[in-house]
């Protein structure tokens, strides 16, 4: 019982039982040195079938944390987390400095092919930069690639 009182989760979350059909998906661990929003998106995608099980979403999320991120979790005040939404908010707030900066579509026009490198290399760099764009239009992407 002393373990529960030290947990950042409310007692209802700590004491909840997982659904009978629950099977733990595979997760990449988060240790605090990567994009927290991306980790959260991956987690929510993997847990899509259980998104309505608030207690389960909270408890399983903590298993994806390791190292400094797990240490951070246990510094949260006891009984301070009531929902997965709250947990998501404090998590992204804590690790917001590691979020990748999204760029606008015009950024793609700055990606140039180096004449000394292969077309394959250019395509790889272009795709990497395209992934950083918030919203893009296919015709603009095509124009930037052809340029």
Using pLDDT thresholds of 50, 70 and 90, give the confidence band for residue 4: very low
Q: For residues 40 and 91, is the Cβ–Cβ distance under 8 A?
A: yes
* pLDDT at site 101: 52
Residue 104 in this model has a pLDDT that exceeds 70: no
The structure's pTM equals 0.64
* pLDDT at site 118: 86
Q: For residues 44 and 51, is the Cβ–Cβ distance under 8 A?
A: yes
Residue 114 in this model has a pLDDT that exceeds 90: no
65-93 average pLDDT score = 93
**CA geometry: angle 18, 68, 11, nearest 5 deg:** 35
Query: Of 42, 60, 41, which is closest to residue 50 (Cα–Cα)?
Result: 60
């Amino acid at each position: 019982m002393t373990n529960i009182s030290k947990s950042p989760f409310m007692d209802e979350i700590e004491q909840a039982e997982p659904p009978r059909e629950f099977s733990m998906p595979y997760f990449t661990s988060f240790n605090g040195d990567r994009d927290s929003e991306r980790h959260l998106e991956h987690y929510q995608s993997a847990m899509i079938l259980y998104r309505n099980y608030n207690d389960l979403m909270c408890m399983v999320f903590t298993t994806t944390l390791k190292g400094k991120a797990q240490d951070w979790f246990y510094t949260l005040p006891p009984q301070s987390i009531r929902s997965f939404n709250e947990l998501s908010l404090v998590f992204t707030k804590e690790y917001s400095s590691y979020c990748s900066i999204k760029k606008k579509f015009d950024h793609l026009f700055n990606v140039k092919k180096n004449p000394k490198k292969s077309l394959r290399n250019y395509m790889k760099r272009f795709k990497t930069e395209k992934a950083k764009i918030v919203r893009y239009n296919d015709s603009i992407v095509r124009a930037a690639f052809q340029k």
